[in-house]
Amino acid sequence: MNVEFDLVRAYFEENGFWVRVHEISSESGKKKSIFPFFEIFNSATPVDTQNESFRIFTGDLSKFSSAIVSLIGWKDTGFSADMLTNDARVMKFFRNQIEAHKSVWSGKEISFLLEEKQFFLVLPAVPKSEKKAKELFDSLKGNNIRGVLTMSSVLENLLRKSSENPKCAGNPSFHLLRLLKVYGLATEPQLDIFKT
């Protein structure tokens, strides 16, 4: 089970999208990798509108009718918690990930999926430095990526929705978030500013 995969799927479903999952396998040397992609559709938005920013937040989702989304997560990538505070290590990580994913992102299988759709990534983090973030975004744009979401945005949105949506009782990811919230181990970020 890949928890991040389940969280990203739940995120798009909770924000009004139909989600279809595709897997593309790739071999580099002796290593065979599986790259999951989400094909998302929102029938409430008939036509995509141009997003001003490369970084996407939940409020921007209403601008998209369909897209292909890929996840670069913590599992199987070597991303670690100490990278969250080290822009140089984050940039090195993404340079390696971009190199590893390039052949998949430009392959025949994904180009068929991408016909008339935008391509987004969900990333574990982006560099804190504006200069490094711009460098990363420029590199991703050069590989036909049209925007990025961060896992923290996904989690914040799901955490907010975890207690208000009883229909998600069967989703283990939502159940875990609900438990963390009930036991006070997780709070909604905007409420933290009022604590003394």
Phi, psi of 16 (to 5 degrees): 90, 15
Give the residue extent of every domain in the chain: 3-153
**Do 150 and 136 contact (CB within 8 A), yes or no?**
no
pLDDT at 13 over 60: yes
pLDDT cut 70: percent of the chain above it: 81
What residue type is assigned to position 5 of the chain?
Answer: F
pLDDT in tens, 41-69: 998 877 777 767 899 999 898 888 888 89
pLDDT at 128 over 70: yes
What's residue 154's pLDDT? Answer: 92
Pinpoint the alpha helices (H) of the chain.
Answer: 3-14, 87-105, 108-113, 130-141, 151-162, 172-182
